[in-house]
Amino acid sequence: MLDYEDDLIHGLVQLIKDREAKDYIYDTLIRYRFPDWERTTNQVLYPSPYRIAITVTELAEQDKAEAVKRLEKYLKKEWYRGHSDLSWHDDHKYGINHDGYWCFESGALVKVLGLDDSSLKGLPYYPYDMVHWNENKI
């Protein structure tokens, strides 16, 4: 997860700049690859449910274990419910083909903040395998 060629990341960064998309999550992810990136805002474009990214990031600066606990609560109780207004919500109840429900931002935060996600493995919505897909490749 997030292990892409710099050219691709530069293209995404340029798109974000062109659209003047100021978002805390974008800034956090970009700074992972380009540490000189200046944070553009302390807000998220969609506060519900993504405000959690700010909380987890701030917690991780002081106590990474607490950040993981907060992320776990988000995954268990808030993430799916926080998307109830989206068209894909409850697709599984209506026989609509879907690829599952994945909280990609949680995996991205774990990766960029260097959190130990062993307690998140197996939780619904957490993309554990995606976060770790490239770790043991030769």
Q: What is the 3-state secondary structure (H, E, C) of 26-80?
A: HHHHHHHHCCCCCCCCCCCCCHHHHCHHHHHHHHHHHCHHHHHHHHHHHHHHHCC
Confidence check: pLDDT of 90 > 80: no
The pTM is what?
0.82
Asked whether residue 106 carries a pLDDT value surpassing 60, the answer given is: yes
At 84, which amino acid appears?
S
Which pLDDT value is given to residue 87? Answer: 65
Confidence band, pLDDT 50/70/90 cuts, at residue 58: very high
Query: How does residue 133 score in pLDDT terms, banded at 50, 70 and 90?
Result: confident
Q: Give helix then strand counts, H and E, for the chain.
A: 7, 0
The angle, 0 to 180 degrees and rounded to 10, between the axes of the packed helices 64-73 and 104-113 is: 180
Asked if residues 13 and 34 have their Cβ atoms less than 8 Å apart, the reply is yes
Mean pLDDT of 59-72: 97
pLDDT at 93 over 90: no
* Residue 134: predicted pLDDT: 79
Q: Note the pLDDT of residue 99.
A: 72
What ranges do the domains of the chain cover? 6-132
